[in-house]
Structure 1
Amino acid sequence: MKQNNQKLNQQIDNNLLEKSRITEFFLRLLIKNNHDIQETQLRSAVGKLSGLVGIVCNLLLAGSKFVVGILAASVSITADALNNLSDAASSIVTLVGFKLAEKPADADHPYGHARFEYLSGLGVAVMIILIGFELAKSSVGKILNPTAVEFSIVTACVLLGSILVKMCLFLFNRKMGKMIHSTALLATAEDSRNDVITTSAVLVAAVVEYFTTWQIDGFMGLAVALFILYSGVNLAKETISPLLGEGANPELQEQITEYITSCPKVLGCHDLMVHDYGPGQRFASIHVEMDKDENALVCHELIDNMERECYKSYGVHLVIHYDPVVTNNPEIERLYHLVTAILKVKDERMSIHDFRMVPGEEHTNLIFDVAFPTELRGQENTIKSALEKALNDLGEGTYYTVITFDPTSFH
């Protein structure tokens, strides 16, 4: 535990905003007992810091743009001020989301409340979509009833300052989001990037209208609104995905399977399933194959060690199902490799496990699971029939297959 805490402290020191001392100071201020930092505390502190910074910056930007937008009679500047006001609300949602996510498990929610972080990301995406609709409505009104935009040095300074602040917020939230792998903070970063584009478009419209007779303020506002709507919908999809139960991260999947297969007495593993209840609350199950002749107590101890190591190294509560495998039957070995070879002719990605043979007087049953690509779903009967035909065409006897098909998304 002490080593893990030292790693987390080192992570704060080395990864945040290129060793920003200010960021490090605020993070340590938000984390109580910072000499014993836990992963959940780090996530919560990072989320709160991002929320507080976003609230302050966006309120200042919204106030200055409202004043300039009214004085300049610019719908795009006023709409941009509303956008910043919604961003402040989004930051409040992020702040509340991370605060609720750190609540411990209780009787009603035994897996904790970490999914509140996903919900806060979804809330940010919804607010982006709503502001996009409002901006589109205002822009259409400006197109139908154009009015001149009053441009000034003050207007230009406010807009340029806004672009600079939003670019810093984008880099800040993206760095934070990548550091703790947070969809909520990455959504906030995308929102800040959108604001850079939005405000740049507003500035271009104001300059063009000032130096020409073209009244493009409404058209520019509409173009920006469409971009915001597109971005909001994409963000909503990304934040909804983990709530619906998306597949395991391929990198995490590979790390777990590589570790399991490297352990003593393990012959293979399969059926890895990861259930995500929010950051830091991942539960998984996997089948591990070991020789049936191994001592059961020894195997049980090894499995316990693997489960503990997976939680320590990958933050995953792993449950391992023990699969005893027959390793001293030459006929089973021969048929196992024969079936594998036939299936790989159909698709190289297919593999088998839990292979058993039940001989009979007139036919032999081969019972096993097939791991196959998800795009082959619907072809199970075809694969089974082709496999039985290939086996029986060898003239070695009659074989029936009893197959359980498992999509490779669980492997």
Structure 2
Amino acid sequence: MIVDNRAQVRKVLLITLVLNLFVMGLKAAVGWATGSLSLLADALHSVTDSANNVLGLVASRFSSPRPDRDHPYGHQKFEAVGALGIAAFLGIACFEILQGAIERLLTPDRPPVKISASELWILLLVLGVNIFVAFYERRVGQRIGSQILIADAKHTMSDVWVTISVMAGLIGIWAWGFQWLDVVLAFPVALLVFASGWSVIQANLPWLVDEMAIAPEAIHTVATQVPGVLNCHDIASRGVVGRQIFIEMHLIVDAKDVETAHRITEEVEARLNDRFGPARILIHVEPPSYTSSQISYEAEGIKDEG
């Protein structure tokens, strides 16, 4: 069964886009008013939040799981490409933050940061909105299996820690006049942004390069429990468990006619779908006389024709 959750993804992204634009505006306004480098860097991070939402909407538009003539395996990798685009935005934000911090170190005679209690309360409101967005996106993303929402939730969660760090520095400036905190905290902000981008890459790159989705031994165990299955081998899988899985295997069945073999393979497909679905499964049926001990594809089994 093909599950198309793009309407839910677009709804969540539109809601978070509005909230992120609101947050970005507040941060930029307070940042310009106070002259805080770390807060302006945080506002830049929020610009990427909004850009990520727009990118996610575009990716969701083209990431239909339904196959067509030109894309017989569906279009869901568009969503993973969108998630990698988020990582790229995070890399740009990291560079801009570091550049601004270094420029501030090289020009120490710039006007000091001035912050008031009312501006700190505004930042507390910003923090609350960010926390809501992060948990809202993650909850919906995990429920419907959307990589773009989960990736964007990680990005927004990094924004939460960034805002907490910036607020701590601004409180230090407001209470004790520690101007150096503004520049010093810009560096961990950049590191948090980079770490968030790296985690997004780690989560989505295996899908794009067709890394194994399910251990072949697990598929072998499920298949061989079906009556009539003698063995299975050359098992391969790719995709994301719970979202869309593609499984291929060779199945040795105890059947003397095509109808019996078909019934056995239908039962194997049903059990694999119950365990790992939704899944598209391709089974090559072989007679009882065939034998093979190679459960999966091994590196040593690939020959270099060059």
Q: TM-score, normalised by structure 1?
A: 0.66
Instruction: Kindly state the Cα deviation for residue 262 of structure 1 after the two structures are TM-superposed.
Output: 2.4
- Residue 27 of structure 2 aligns with which residue? 65
- 2:213 and 2:240 in contact (8 A); partners too: no
1:315 maps onto 2:296 in alignment: no
Tell me the distance in 2 between the aligned counterparts of 1:322 and 1:280.
26
- 1:201 and 1:220 in contact (8 A); partners too: yes
1:114 maps onto 2:76 in alignment: yes
1:248 maps onto 2:213 in alignment: yes
| 1:396-411 superposed matches below 5 A | none
Instruction: Kindly state the Cα deviation for residue 102 of structure 1 after the two structures are TM-superposed.
Output: 2.1
Residue-by-residue CA offset, 1:139-189 (whole Å, 9 max, x unaligned): 222233344211112221121111111111111111122112332222111
Tell me the distance in 2 between the aligned counterparts of 1:277 and 1:223.
33
1:151 maps onto 2:119 in alignment: no
- Residue 339 of structure 1 aligns with which residue? none
- 1:143 and 1:219 in contact (8 A); partners too: no
Residue-by-residue CA offset, 1:26-74 (whole Å, 9 max, x unaligned): xxxxxxxxxxxx721xx21231122112210110011111111111111
Tell me the distance in 2 between the aligned counterparts of 1:300 and 1:267.
12
Question: Kindly tell me: are residues 253 and 159 of structure 1, through their superposed partners in 2, closer, same or farther at Cα, counting changes over 3 Å?
Answer: farther
Tell me the distance in 1 between the aligned counterparts of 2:105 and 2:58.
38
Residue-by-residue CA offset, 1:290-316 (whole Å, 9 max, x unaligned): 23xx31224322245236526864222
| 1:179-258 superposed matches below 5 A | 179-214=143-178, 215-250=180-215, 254=218, 256-258=219-221
Instruction: Kindly state the Cα deviation for residue 372 of structure 1 after the two structures are TM-superposed.
Output: 8.3
Question: Kindly tell me: are residues 79 and 45 of structure 1, through their superposed partners in 2, closer, same or farther at Cα, counting changes over 3 Å?
Answer: same
- Residue 138 of structure 2 aligns with which residue? 174
- Residue 284 of structure 1 aligns with which residue? 247
In structure 1, list runs of 5 or more residues that go unmatched: 5-37, 327-353, 356-367, 381-403, 406-411
Instruction: Kindly state the Cα deviation for residue 281 of structure 1 after the two structures are TM-superposed.
Output: 4.9
Amino acid at match of 1:260: A
- Residue 227 of structure 2 aligns with which residue? 264
Q: Which protein is bigger by CA-based radius of gyration? A: 1
The DSSP-based 3-state class of the residue aligned with 2:70 is coil
1:165 maps onto 2:129 in alignment: yes
**Share of identical aligned residues, percent?**
26
Question: Kindly tell me: are residues 310 and 96 of structure 1, through their superposed partners in 2, closer, same or farther at Cα, counting changes over 3 Å?
Answer: farther
- Residue 237 of structure 2 aligns with which residue? 274
- Residue 348 of structure 1 aligns with which residue? none
- Residue 324 of structure 1 aligns with which residue? 287
Amino acid at match of 2:286: D
1:295 maps onto 2:295 in alignment: no
- 2:137 and 2:153 in contact (8 A); partners too: yes
Instruction: Kindly state the Cα deviation for residue 218 of structure 1 after the two structures are TM-superposed.
Output: 0.9
Aligned-residue CA RMSD (Å): 2.8
- 2:217 and 2:295 in contact (8 A); partners too: no
Q: TM-score, normalised by structure 2?
A: 0.86
The DSSP-based 3-state class of the residue aligned with 1:267 is strand
Tell me the distance in 1 between the aligned counterparts of 2:160 and 2:214.
31
Tell me the distance in 2 between the aligned counterparts of 1:92 and 1:312.
34
- 2:220 and 2:295 in contact (8 A); partners too: no
In structure 2, list runs of 5 or more residues that go unmatched: none
The DSSP-based 3-state class of the residue aligned with 1:151 is coil
The DSSP-based 3-state class of the residue aligned with 1:156 is helix
Amino acid at match of 1:222: F
- Residue 141 of structure 1 aligns with which residue? 103
Match of residue 305, structure 1, among 254, 266, 285: 266
The DSSP-based 3-state class of the residue aligned with 2:229 is coil
Tell me the distance in 2 between the aligned counterparts of 1:279 and 1:112.
16
Instruction: Kindly state the Cα deviation for residue 373 of structure 1 after the two structures are TM-superposed.
Output: 10
The DSSP-based 3-state class of the residue aligned with 1:283 is strand
Moved more, 272-281 or 214-223: 272-281
Question: Kindly tell me: are residues 370 and 269 of structure 1, through their superposed partners in 2, closer, same or farther at Cα, counting changes over 3 Å?
Answer: closer
Tell me the distance in 1 between the aligned counterparts of 2:268 and 2:54.
38
Match of residue 96, structure 1, among 31, 37, 58: 58
- 1:307 and 1:320 in contact (8 A); partners too: no
Tell me the distance in 1 between the aligned counterparts of 2:83 and 2:213.
19
